[in-house]
Chains A and B, each alone.
Chain A
Amino acid sequence: DIVMTQSPDSLAVSLGERATINCKSSQSVLYSSNNKNYLAWYQQKPGQPPKVLIYWASTRESGVPDRFSGSGSGTDFTLTISSLQAEDVAVYYCQQYDTPPFTFGGGTKVEIK
């Protein structure tokens, strides 16, 4: 199984500041034939289901604010919130969809400092 490791487990950021979340996969999720990374990021607010923010590691889902961006390739990925807003308080998960079982990272809780 591909193990997804996120860091940090939690972080507190001031409003308007940058938040950076890391995700590392135990094996590459880059598919060479199409040069796509099979990696998504989800946001989950309390009492709600997850919502996809980013897929193919760096493609923003329709309607997601452009302060959210994804980067990385192979085994190392980053989700960046460029200017944290109050409504961004949530737990963020990375997920690989390259190989079943489609595993998630342990989550990163983002709070306001």
Chain B
Amino acid sequence: EVQLVESGGGLVQPGGSLRLSCAASGFTFSGYWMSWVRQAPGKGLEWVANIKQDGSEIYYVDSVKGRFTISRDNAKNSLYLQMNSLRAEDTAVYFCARVYGGDSKYRYFDLWGRGTLVTVSS
């Protein structure tokens, strides 16, 4: 079955760190750009970061630059998001998403995981 499964969410204090993981299965993970997208409780969707197939190109939304790091391990079919210096406004469900096609980062998200909740609170 083609799927993405996120893990690693939880409760963390402001200023703390957390590492999210996304396990991919059912498709050739190394052939796709991958992304993280988040959704604050009751709010809309916000793209967070993209990473190219070989990790050679990475893009972030300005609000997480310098604090979050996206990475991947193609041998393990896994995507990661290292989140440091967390703030209350980072509280959200974090979705792992596949970028369609594999030929470009300028494509829509065609496969989503169910998400993992990150709560930043003291």
Contact = CB atoms under 8 A, between A and B. Distances in A.
A105 B108 contact: no
A51 interface: yes
Nearest to B35: A102
Chain A interface residue bracket vs B: 20 to 34
Interface stretch (B8-16, B17-25, B75-83, B110-118): B110-118
Contacts of B67: none
A36 B95 CA distance: 27
Interface in B77-122: 95, 100, 105-110, 112-115
Interface stretch (A18-26, A71-79, A81-89, A90-98): A90-98
Per DSSP, chain A at the interface is loop
A40 interface: yes
Contacts of A44: 45
A49 interface: yes
Interface of A: 38, 40, 42, 44, 48-52, 55, 61, 93, 95, 97-98, 100-107
B45 to A, nearest CB: 4
Interface of B: 35, 44-47, 50, 59, 61-62, 95, 100, 105-110, 112-115
A63 B56 CA distance: 34
B100 A49 contact: no
A71 B22 CA distance: 34
A41 to B, nearest CB: 9
Contact of A55 (B46, B100, B112): B100
A61 to B, nearest CB: 7
Given A104-B44, A104-B47, A105-B44, A50 B109 contact: yes
B57 to A, nearest CB: 10
B45 A50 contact: yes
Contacts of B50: 100, 102
B59 A40 contact: no
